[in-house]
A = this chain, B = another copy of it.
Amino acid sequence: MAEGNSPVPANGMTLEAVRDSLIRQEDTIIFSLIERAKFPLNSPTYQQSYASIPGFSGPLIDFFVKQAEALQAKTGRYQNPEEHPFFPDDLPPSLVPPYDFPPILHPAANSINVNNKIWDTYFNQLLPLLAKPGDDGNYASTATSDLNCLQAISRRIHYGNFVAEVKFKDAPEDYEPAIRAQDRDALMKLLTFEAVEKMVVERVGKKTKTFAQEVTLNSTSRNDQKCKVDPSVVSQLYEKWIMPLTKLVEVEYLLRRLD
């Protein structure tokens, strides 16, 4: 919807801007998946006691993500309401001056974090479809790639807060009855547009075909080409996990929108 059709944009943010961001984030997610698929599974990264780290017990990936998030917290990442940590407990404070991010969301957004579900889905469902079996010893690079994927997927899903806010501001009368009734099912129905979802699933498949192809000087793009990531895996990721979890965030946000 163009800005002109949106009578009360959420602090200048329009549904069009939200959609543009979601579309651009598709590219980021697909790039990060292609880069993770470059490495084999590298299972020592995920084994309970592969590394012996003083003062830490757990898999290498947990150590890596916790420490990387601590560094990113110090450099201000989580001041941006688009960003959500996977290990939110005991994060150090930011060491950079606060940046004036425009206040768009209701404060309720601060209490919404579905990263536990994203973590579980990524490692147990997606990664086995993405990474070939094998071990090339690149555990640190593998963990870095995992974190890039996790952060890109998490940003997309928690962007549901912005989607919900803009939709609510656009037509509060549509949502208020279901919010007052705390009716999850009604909200989910209001937020579901099957034709749009089908289009997204198709588009991310097409994007994956384009970005994951082998480009050579002699080749033209072909549909039968072997891809670095199977386009159907990305379509499935969106259909089964990203879009449902985004809508879950939207519902959680709207349920608290009138608090």
Interface residues of A (CB under 8 A from B): 24, 27-28, 31, 34-35, 38, 44, 50-54, 60, 63-64, 67-68, 71-72, 74-77, 79-80, 83, 95-97, 99-101, 137-141, 143-144, 148, 199, 202-203, 206-207, 210-211, 213, 215-217, 221, 228
Contact = CB atoms under 8 A, between A and B. Distances in A.
A111 to B, nearest CB: 22
A44 B96 contact: yes
Kindly name the residue among A38, A52, A99, A203 whose own CB sees the greatest number of chain B CB atoms within 10 A: A99
Contacts of A38: 24, 28
13 contacts: A27-B34, A31-B34, A31-B211, A51-B95, A64-B75, A68-B68, A71-B71, A72-B144, A75-B139, A76-B140, A101-B137, A203-B216, A211-B211
Contacts of A67: 71, 74
A96 B221 CA distance: 42
Tell me how many chains of this kind the complex includes: 2
Contact of A35 (B31, B76, B80): B31
Contacts of A52: 95
Contacts of A210: 210-211, 213, 215, 221
Kindly name the residue among A28, A138, A210 whose own CB sees the greatest number of chain B CB atoms within 10 A: A138
Contacts of A96: 44, 50-51, 60, 139
A199 B215 contact: no
A140 B215 contact: no
Kindly name the residue among A28, A35, A50, A54 whose own CB sees the greatest number of chain B CB atoms within 10 A: A35
A137 B71 contact: no
Contacts of A24: 38
A99 B206 contact: no
Nearest to A217: B203
